[in-house]
Structure 1
Amino acid sequence: MINVTYIQPDGSETTVTAQPGDSVMQTALNNNIDGIIAECGGSMACATCHVYVEGEWADQTGARMDGEEDMLDCAMSEMKDTSRLSCQIKLTEALDGLRVHIPEEQA
């Protein structure tokens, strides 16, 4: 199992377990994590699953996919260097312990 920690804007944290191959977005939805709306269901057609990957994990989650930056540009919250669409981060054993911050606003 893979552990993922979601950090809310107020600093509260929730750690959940995920299956390899699931996305960070789907894991959030499966565990009722507040702040991940996922209006498009993971098809990279919105930015309502925007997260900030915690610093040391940014390289391990990989580069943004083609078109991801365009979607992030439309996000309600500020795009940062560590911004990702959580639907585009597929979980592997190497990401066990991943920490992501949920922005103030999604929609």
Structure 2
Amino acid sequence: MPHITFISSTGAVRTVEGPVGQSVMEIAKRHGVDGIVGECGGCCACATCHVHVAADWRERVGPPSADEADMLEFVSERREGSRLSCQIRVREALDGLVVHTPERQG
């Protein structure tokens, strides 16, 4: 199973693994990763699963869809590499993915 590393705003590092096909948000919630709320359950409707994709992973993850980009307009710490983790589907090519969680969600 692919591994995903979450780095918190305080620098805490946590690496978890999850099955191909699930979203980064689903995997984070299953493992109790701090900083991923996911209030809407992954419907791209709340932006409480916002993450910053590490620079060297952005091309492999790909750009946000138009709906996701609209939702990202509401996040407080938006920057290059901002994505909603509910919209990133894990695949083998993302084994080792690194994302940073913002200081606050919502």
Tell me the TM-score normalized by structure 1: 0.96
**What is the match of residue 39 of structure 1?**
39
Larger helix share, 1 or 2: 2
Which string of whole-angstrom CA distances, capped at 9 and with x for unpartnered residues, describes residues 45-80 of structure 1?
0110000000000010011012111111111x2211
Supply the distance in 2 between the matched residues of 1:66 and 1:26 (Cα, whole angstroms). Answer: 21
**What is the match of residue 5 of structure 1?**
5
**What is the match of residue 79 of structure 1?**
78
Supply the distance in 2 between the matched residues of 1:42 and 1:82 (Cα, whole angstroms). Answer: 19
The DSSP-based 3-state class of the residue aligned with 2:77 is coil
**What is the match of residue 53 of structure 2?**
53
Supply the distance in 2 between the matched residues of 1:29 and 1:14 (Cα, whole angstroms). Answer: 13
Supply the distance in 2 between the matched residues of 1:53 and 1:14 (Cα, whole angstroms). Answer: 15
The DSSP-based 3-state class of the residue aligned with 2:14 is strand
Runs of 4+ residues deviating >3 angstroms: none
Instruction: Give the superposed CA RMSD.
Output: 0.7
Supply the distance in 2 between the matched residues of 1:12 and 1:29 (Cα, whole angstroms). Answer: 17
Supply the distance in 2 between the matched residues of 1:96 and 1:106 (Cα, whole angstroms). Answer: 25
Supply the distance in 2 between the matched residues of 1:58 and 1:98 (Cα, whole angstroms). Answer: 9
Supply the distance in 1 between the matched residues of 2:63 and 2:69 (Cα, whole angstroms). Answer: 10
Supply the distance in 2 between the matched residues of 1:53 and 1:105 (Cα, whole angstroms). Answer: 16
Which string of whole-angstrom CA distances, capped at 9 and with x for unpartnered residues, describes residues 2-45 of structure 1?
00000000001000011000100000000000110000000000
**What is the match of residue 62 of structure 1?**
62
Supply the distance in 2 between the matched residues of 1:78 and 1:27 (Cα, whole angstroms). Answer: 22
